[in-house]
Amino acid sequence: MPRQRLDQVDAMRPMKQAGVISTHVLTFFAPAAFSVSTSAVMLLTHFSREGFFFISACMLTYAYMDLDRGGLRRFYGRRLVAVAVPYLCWSVIYFLYLLPTAHYASAAAALENFAKEVATGYYQLYFLVIIMQYYLVFPLLMMFLRRTRDHHGAIVIIAALGHVVLMTLMHWTIVPVLRTGWIREFTPYAFYLITGSVAAFHLEAVNEWLVRHARLVIALTVAAAFGAEAVYFLAEKGVTTILGSGNDPFQPSVIPFDVGAIACLYLLGVALVKPGRSRRLRAAVRSGSDNSYGVYLSQMLFINALIWAGWAKLDSVVWWPLLCAATVVIVFLAGVALTSLLARTPLAVPLTGRQQQPWATSTGIAADQAAVEQREPGANHDGKLWLGRPANRWRSPPVAS
């Protein structure tokens, strides 16, 4: 049965990718002399990682919440094409791209390192390793959530408490073994994956509550940000580390902000797709959403290229926060351009996650604006409606998927 198109969730994708890029840009281009302030900012930009898993789980569950045994072959076939194949392709691309500067002792050493990267994920690609782990348990999770539909609130509370306990154990090394390699495993992100799946079952109720309490959500998120920063600076100044320390995203002091930031990102997505928005803005949102996966996959191509070009040296003539902000924009737009180009080749699916587009169409926002103009507001295309405020208030106009 066709479901409503979740345009406001789609709108979250490019913003979340911008957050991921911001973390990486600060890592490589912020001056070492400003490491304290840089780490303070990165403490908050790390939420994009949790947002990635929440959004992925929400969208997947929304599409497959009725998954049964008969649909497993189709489900895993599509996941193979959408995630496993791009993961392997980009693992090879990054290996070859970085090979000239890696200076491996031998071919055997190079192949051994490549095997490790495939197993654990090169840099940002480990996100996909975790998502593939989630796919393994997804059918069982759907069965469980369907049978416990009346107890989802309790499940979220239990998951939240378990997450706090786990973060405490990991950050304070109460059980040291939990620290080793867990950043690239399913467990530290289970709360966001479970919560994203639960949210998909109750999207209308979640949407209505968030929209009705938008100011409260924003205020609490800002307060949580100040709280997380206060904990960071208390530790940095040597006052106390009992509440947390460093820019480690795996600590209880950051959890309230992470949850609030994801909620605020959703509200921003709702705002971006409200009726009355210009076609150009709607096209830009659509373009960002369509290309966000490719931006995620390709971002380190451009970051590494800027590193090799000595881009960081520009901080001697450009204020470094402005330089980093410009770098985020450059990397994001370069990723959009590359993805739009690759989407018009036979390698579109394995390299961008998009279906191949015809060369006859222009690339970028102009093409997306043309696609938007082909749809009339208020129409229902392919059974897809837009979930915004309750139907008696407003419903976002459809945009081509």
Tell whether the model's pLDDT for residue 178 goes beyond 70.
no
The pLDDT value given to residue 398: 28
Taking only the tens place, the pLDDT of each residue in 86-122 is 999 999 999 999 999 998 999 999 999 999 999 989 9
| pLDDT higher at 375 or 74 | 74
Sign of CA dihedral 359, 362, 364, 365: negative
Sign of CA dihedral 129, 132, 133, 134: positive
Name the pLDDT band for 80 (thresholds 50, 70, 90). Answer: very high
Residue whose C-alpha is closest to residue 193's, from 67, 52, 86? 52
Cβ-based neighbour number of residue 143 at 10 Å: 13
Distance CA 178, CA 214 (A): 36
| Mean pLDDT of the 126-133 span | 93
Taking only the tens place, the pLDDT of each residue in 308-337 is 999 999 999 999 999 999 999 999 999 999
Name the pLDDT band for 248 (thresholds 50, 70, 90). Answer: confident
Secondary element (H or E) of residue 224: helix 214-236
Average pLDDT of the chain?
Answer: 86
Residue whose C-alpha is closest to residue 380's, from 357, 396, 398? 398
Distance CA 349, CA 43 (A): 34
Taking only the tens place, the pLDDT of each residue in 337-387 is 999 999 999 999 999 988 888 876 555 545 554 444 434 333 333 323 334
Instruction: Pick the most confident of 186-190, 278-282, 295-299, 395-399.
Output: 295-299
The pLDDT value given to residue 59: 93
Tell whether the model's pLDDT for residue 212 goes beyond 50.
yes
For the chain, percent of residues with pLDDT exceeding 90: 67
The pLDDT value given to residue 279: 87
Query: Computed over its alpha carbons, how large is the radius of gyration of the chain?
Result: 21
- The DSSP result for 94-146, as a single string, is HHHHHHHHH--SSHHHHHHHHHHHHHH-SGGGHHHHHHHHHHHHHHHHHHHHH
The pLDDT value given to residue 393: 33
Name the pLDDT band for 138 (thresholds 50, 70, 90). Answer: very high
| Mean pLDDT of the 23-35 span | 93
Least confident of 69-73, 191-195, 271-275, 389-393: 389-393
pTM: 0.86
Tell whether the model's pLDDT for residue 391 goes beyond 50.
no
Tell whether the model's pLDDT for residue 70 goes beyond 70.
yes
| Mean pLDDT of the 52-61 span | 94
Residue whose C-alpha is closest to residue 300's, from 121, 119, 70? 121
